[in-house]
């Protein structure tokens, strides 16, 4: 039997706790340590109860431990590039939550460090690993709908995160819509060349007071001639709304939402069905496992991971151009940068 990959988890907030709980059940990994400078007694107790043997307030304990093979970066976005560089220098493979960074210069430094150290870097775009989205991607890639002409993605959260989170998020395009920018590249198999974006905070004026928008809308032009129409919102009263439709020269392929069950019933009041999952942890529950299982395979075989640093960079470049467009009111060009 292969030895488990020994990991350290950096950042024990919302997503760090979720990954920790998942990883502890996976035979591919052994969790050695969790690190968070703002570790509370409550989180430390929670992690101990889950089965993490050690928690520390000093991330350096993870980088300096020669028995740790890989890091799972789940801390606030501003820390990601620095942690990638430190992990690469320590020869550790890296799974990093999205986005890699808000700053393209820092992302380039991180990707150069990864290349120089020849370690694996996978970015946490879990939408790609959802079985419905993945089946839809196969239908496009195998030519079933012919050449893709239009891609529509709707992605809405049930309720906004805390205003503290919004303030430090970097804005809706780089924090939230980035998943859809990545899916747009993944589904069309083409780079985005131009973007037009606009947004509104009509769903929650408090978001406007933080200098952000509560819903973002983007039209993408792809190098292969296709057009993308993306719509996202921080509030959707009925749950996590995740739908995709692609029109091609030979047909159309679409994903409706996943429902809590498939039962539909008719009464005098009309047609009824079950609810959609409330939020991303429930909707992408399985995808979070699949992305980490694939990361483990890339680490063991030392092969390119399914979502690379280049993918992480391109998604940020689209998000940056979208944010620029929302300010300028104009179509903005999107660069492609190879490291
Ligand atoms: N893929 C997804 O579905 C998904 C979902 C949510 C968040 N995220 C990403 O995960 C990251 C964390 O988001 P979150 O929602 O868990 O935020 P959070 O605020 O709940 O947690 C962030 C944690 O990072 C810790 N932290 C701050 N500085 C640190 C440092 N120097 N070293 C180590 N830890 C530090 C904080 O104490 C906190 O516990 C963000 O980059 C976010 O974009 C991804």
Report residue 23: phi and psi, to 5°.
-60, -35
How close is the Cα of 10 to the center of ligand 1, in Å?
Answer: 9
Is the C-alpha dihedral spanning 185, 311, 279, 156 positive or negative?
Answer: negative
Domain ranges of the chain: 5-119, 127-278+315-333
Angle between helix axes 285-301 and 14-23 (nearest 10 degrees) is 70
**pLDDT value at position 1?**
60
Specify the residue with its C-alpha closest to ligand 1, atom 15.
14
**214-253 pLDDT tens trace:** 999 999 999 999 999 999 999 999 999 999 999 999 999 9
Q: For residues 221 and 97, what is the distance between their CA atoms, to the nearest angstrom?
A: 26
Residue 165 Cα to ligand 1 middle (Å): 9
In the CATH hierarchy, which top-level class contains the domain 127-278+315-333?
alpha beta
Task: Name all residues whose Cβ lies below 6 A of ligand 1.
Answer: 10-16, 35-38, 59, 74-77, 79, 97-98, 124, 126, 175, 280
Q: What residue owns the CA closest to ligand 1's atom 39?
A: 13
pLDDT in tens, 101-151: 999 999 999 999 999 999 999 999 999 999 999 999 999 999 999 999 999
Q: Confirm if 23 and 33 have CB atoms less than 8 A apart.
A: no
pLDDT at residue 303, as a whole number:
98
- Ligand 1: atom nearest CA of 10 is 33
Cα–Cα nearest to 139, from 252, 256, 58, 217: 252
Q: How far is the CA of 263 from the centre of ligand 1 (A)?
A: 37
Tokens of 306: 């399914």
279 vs 283: CA distance, rounded Å: 6
CATH topology for 5-119 is Rossmann fold (3.40.50)
Distance CA 262, CA 47 (A): 35
- Site to substitute for ligand 1 among 33, 59, 75, most atoms within 8 A of C-beta: 75
Q: Could you tell me the pTM of the whole model? A: 0.96
> For residue 14, how far is its CA from the centre of ligand 1 (angstroms)?
7
């Amino acid at each position: 039997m292969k030895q488990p990959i020994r990991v350290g988890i950096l950042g024990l907030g919302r997503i760090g706790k979720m990954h920790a709980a998942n990883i502890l059940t996976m035979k591919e990994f052994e969790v050695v340590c969790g690190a968070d400078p703002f570790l509370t007694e409550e989180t430390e107790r929670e992690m101990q109860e889950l089965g993490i043997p050690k928690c520390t307030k000093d991330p350096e304990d993870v980088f300096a431990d020669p028995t740790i093979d890989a890091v799972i970066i789940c801390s606030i976005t501003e820390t990601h590039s620095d942690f990638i560089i430190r992990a690469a220098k320590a020869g550790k493979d890296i799974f990093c939550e999205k986005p890699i960074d808000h700053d393209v210069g820092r992302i380039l430094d991180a990707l150069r460090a990864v290349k120089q150290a020849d370690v694996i870097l996978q970015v946490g775009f879990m939408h790609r690993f959802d079985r419905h989205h993945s089946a839809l991607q196969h239908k496009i890639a195998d030519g079933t709908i012919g050449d893709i002409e239009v891609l529509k993605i709707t992605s809405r959260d049930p309720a906004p995160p805390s205003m503290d989170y919004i303030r430090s998020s970097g804005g809706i395009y780089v924090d939230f819509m980035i998943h859809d920018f990545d899916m747009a590249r993944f589904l069309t198999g083409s780079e985005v060349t131009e973007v037009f974006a606009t947004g509104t905070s009509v769903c929650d004026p408090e978001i406007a007071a933080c200098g952000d928008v509560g819903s973002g809308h983007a039209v993408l032009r792809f190098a292969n001639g296709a057009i993308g129409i993306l719509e996202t919102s921080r509030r959707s009263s009925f749950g996590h709304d995740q739908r995709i439709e692609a029109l091609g020269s030979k047909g159309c392929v679409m994903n409706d939402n996943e429902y809590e069950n498939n039962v539909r019933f008719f009464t005098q009041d009309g047609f009824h069905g079950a609810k959609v999952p409330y939020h991303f942890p429930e909707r992408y529950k399985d995808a979070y496992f699949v992305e980490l299982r694939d990361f483990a395979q890339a680490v063991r075989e030392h092969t390119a991971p399914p979502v690379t640093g280049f993918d992480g960079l391109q998604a940020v470049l689209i998000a940056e151009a979208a944010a620029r467009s929302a300010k300028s009111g104009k179509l903005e060009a999107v660069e492609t940068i190879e490291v």
